[in-house]
Structure 1
Amino acid sequence: MIRRLTKNDHKLLFSLLKEEPSFNLFIIGDIESFGYDADFQDIWGEFDENGTLNAVLLRYYDSYIPYARTSFHMEAFAQLIRQTSTSSFVLSGKSEIVEQFEHVLPLGNKRVTYFCECQTDKLATGTENIDIKKATLDDVDRIIALRQSIAEFTTTPRAREMLAKGLETNTSRTYYIEEDGKMVASASTTAENSLSAMIVGVCTEEAYRQKGYASAIMKKLIQDLISEGKTLCLFYDNPKAGNIYKRLGFRDIGTWTMYL
């Protein structure tokens, strides 16, 4: 049986989602932020004959994320997506789950990234003598300017709005390092919730690289978030970058697939 979930299902839902808090950080964050009654968001659940919740599908505007711990009725979830989406929608999630939809839905361009998580701060040491600051709303324009100055980064038209919104709602934070009053390196979280957080926007201005700034900021984020009982996670598609994260305590847990 598949039905739309309500606040009465919250305990049951989170019992399922907590089994893999990193893979479920977007679902957890959206439910904690917007609940079960927002007109732009739905969460459906699939139950077995014993009333056990085995799978869920989140709709956030025109973005969909399925999650399941066992086999599930993929065709029924696909039908829900057809009924509630526009002609252009985004499907993303744990690769082995979302790739089951490839032959039944008109999906966009496929992108697969490595997915890793960190649950320890044992390797995040050596930041005591570095002045790492926490950004406020007054720093939003400087953060965006730093990202735009870096060739590897692409900033979207809504980047400033989304960054400010995250700071206002405490669903993101940014740490940074300055030299002579200039922001030269930063890293952020997004989709922060009670269980997990995603690391994004790790960057250093080219003239200030090879000084360990990005690693120091990452260590600070790891220390603070682990102390709050949260799991950190991130996407990467460059194995070289992946090795840097692994030296800080991250480990691969699978891949994430997105259809745009």
Structure 2
Amino acid sequence: MFRRLTASDHDRVVAYLSKRPALHTFLTGDIERYGYDAPFQEVYGYLTDGRVTAVLLRFYGSYIFSTEGPDAVEDVVRMLQSNTAWTMVQGDSVSLSLLQDVGGFQPRQVREFAFAERPPGAPRPFVDTSGVYQATVDHVGQLWQLRKSIAEFANSNTTELSLRQSFESGDTLCFYVPGERGEMAASASAVAENTWTAMVVGVCTRPLYRGLGYATRCVAKLCDVFDERGKTLCLYYDNPNAGGIYRRLGFAVTSGWTQFFR
């Protein structure tokens, strides 16, 4: 049975999410932070013999989907087709492939990524993180301008307002390296921190400062923080050069990640 979930279902939701904590980073982080009753978030699930076997979460205008099998697929496709307000649905590549192969869903655009994980304490070479600073809500304007200058962020559904709200709610931990003129030269953020994991996002460098290792230093700083917290860092990427950097920092590809755009 596919239905909206409530706080009374939380133990069953956690039992499902804990099976694949890294791939469920966004789901777990959003549910732990915002619960089941926030006006901008809805959590749906498929229940089989009292167990949650699939989760669909709406966060503002995007969805995250995860399933153990095909049972929830037709219900999810009907929801996506009936709701015209969303812009993106994302999740592990196996789950999203079922929406196409079983549910017949045809997105306007598909992006495929490698999904990588870094357990706390994973070995990596020393990286000098001096000159790396933590951003605050006062830096949101600069961070937004940095991301707008990067072509790879053109499809992002993040707005300056949602970025500010993420800082104000404490959901974003961001480190940056300043440029010669005081602008942000590079940055990397972690979001959706939860009991087990956090997701690295927004790794970027202005073209003028590329090749200097600034983004590597920002990600290394995040590694330091989450090593201390004993949590796994996750990320997804489709840039082979970035993949080489992440591997050197201790990340290993474990799965695929897919985004569908309406």
Q: TM-score range by the shorter chain?
A: 0.7 to 0.9
Cα separation, 2, equivalents of 1:28 and 1:61: 16
Structure 2 residue matching 1:167: 3-state secondary structure: helix
Aligned to 1:38: 38
Which stretch of the first structure deviates more once superposed, 5-14 or 178-187? 178-187
Which stretch of the first structure deviates more once superposed, 242-251 or 181-190? 181-190
Aligned to 2:130: 130
Aligned to 2:212: 211
Cα separation, 2, equivalents of 1:190 and 1:146: 18
Do the aligned partners of 2:87 and 2:157 also contact (CA within 8 Å) in 1? no
Whether 2:119 is the aligned partner of 1:119: answer yes
Aligned to 1:255: 256
- Structure 2, unpaired ranges of 5+: none
Alignment-mate amino acid for residue 166 of structure 1: S
Do the aligned partners of 1:166 and 1:173 also contact (CA within 8 Å) in 2? no
Cα separation, 1, equivalents of 2:42 and 2:129: 47
Cα separation, 2, equivalents of 1:82 and 1:151: 29
TM-aligned CA deviation for residue 151 of structure 1: 5.4
Runs in 1 of length 4+ with deviation above 4 angstroms? 149-153, 155-158
TM-aligned CA deviation for residue 4 of structure 1: 2.2
Cα separation, 1, equivalents of 2:232 and 2:157: 29
Alignment-mate amino acid for residue 258 of structure 2: T
Map 1:191-230 to 2 at 5 A.
Answer: 191-230=192-231
Cα separation, 1, equivalents of 2:15 and 2:254: 20
- Structure 1, unpaired ranges of 5+: none
Aligned to 2:239: 238
Q: Which of 74, 96, 99 does residue 98 from structure 1 map onto?
A: 96
TM-aligned CA deviation for residue 210 of structure 1: 3.4
Q: Deviations over 1:210-244 (max 9, x none)?
A: 33222122111011023223221112112222121
Change (3 A) 1:128 1:24: same
Query: Which TM-score applies when normalising by structure 2?
Result: 0.85
Change (3 A) 1:125 1:132: farther
TM-aligned CA deviation for residue 203 of structure 1: 2.5
Alignment-mate amino acid for residue 20 of structure 1: R
Aligned to 1:55: 54
Count the aligned residue pairs.
258
Change (3 A) 1:30 1:150: closer
Aligned-residue RMSD, C-alpha: 2.6
Change (3 A) 1:175 1:89: closer
Change (3 A) 1:128 1:59: closer
Map 1:151-190 to 2 at 5 A.
Answer: 153-154=153-154, 159-178=159-178, 182=182, 183-190=184-191
Identity within the alignment, %: 36
Cα separation, 2, equivalents of 1:110 and 1:63: 14
Cα separation, 1, equivalents of 2:230 and 2:15: 17
Change (3 A) 1:140 1:129: closer
Cα separation, 2, equivalents of 1:80 and 1:129: 46
Cα separation, 2, equivalents of 1:61 and 1:136: 23
Query: Which TM-score applies when normalising by structure 1?
Result: 0.86
Change (3 A) 1:45 1:210: closer
Q: Which has the larger radius of gyration?
A: 1
TM-aligned CA deviation for residue 34 of structure 1: 2.2
Change (3 A) 1:62 1:200: closer
Cα separation, 2, equivalents of 1:149 and 1:2: 42
Q: Deviations over 1:59-91 (max 9, x none)?
A: 3344332212345342233334445x1275532
Cα separation, 2, equivalents of 1:209 and 1:242: 15
Alignment-mate amino acid for residue 98 of structure 1: L
Cα separation, 1, equivalents of 2:93 and 2:148: 30
